[in-house]
Chain A
């Protein structure tokens, strides 16, 4: 049973398109995140949500819009895709108590052509 699952695993799309990535966690965690990993493997936080509320928005272009319908789901919608959006996007969750224990999904490789 996958703890943090993302779909799709691979996404190839043309510039200008709009696409969504879905994330679900079955760990009962209160906080979920989106991280972006570039071609040099650098991981950087984009957003975090705590119990459906936006906590962190790390100066991400407003073409990126996260949505959390409930605390087990955090989806990422991207409008007007650009070449520079090509990366691997990771969803993660955390219980936000004394034992932080971030758990990451397996990633979505987005390629914009």
Chain B
């Protein structure tokens, strides 16, 4: 079955540095990918998405890269701030499936 996994369960980054969170997926039919941020006691919050016909998409301080050849997704956060501390999830979907499949999450901790 399809699965979405993350390489690192925890990541600690110095404030001001860039963060990179990685995600591997196994379903080559997936055509839509989303990164979510979940802060303690809150629901997942949309950060950025990307479709399979793109390799890169940029938002405010965030960039998502998609490598379909190796089925790998990454989230880059520039100039990490204390407010970026959270658990980050990648999620995938493919047309007609009508559901998001989530990865296991990476906890990002910002070191002051």
Of A41, A58, A90, A100, the residue contacting B105 (CB under 8 A) is A41
Size class of the contact patch on chain B:
20 to 34
> Which residues of the other chain, B, contact A4 by a CB distance below 8 angstroms?
43
Tell which of A41, A56, A90 touches B104, judged by Cβ atoms closer than 8 Å: A41
For the complex, give the distance between the alpha carbons of A50 and B96 in Å. 13
Q: Which B21-72 residues have C-beta < 8 A from chain A? A: 32, 34, 36, 38, 41-46, 49
Contact flags (1/0) for A79-113 with B, using CB distance below 8 Å? 00000000000101000100011111111000000
Q: Are B98 and A104 in contact (CB under 8 A)?
A: no
Give chain A's interface residues, CB within 8 Å of chain B.
Answer: 4, 31, 33, 40-45, 48, 50, 55-56, 58, 90, 92, 96, 100-107
23 interchain pairs (CB within 8 A)?
A4-B43, A31-B98, A40-B104, A41-B87, A41-B105, A42-B102, A42-B105, A43-B44, A43-B89, A45-B99, A45-B100, A45-B101, A48-B99, A55-B98, A56-B98, A90-B43, A96-B98, A100-B34, A100-B93, A101-B46, A102-B46, A104-B43, A105-B43
- Partner-A contacts on B (CB < 8 A): 32, 34, 36, 38, 41-46, 49, 87, 89, 93, 98-102, 104-105
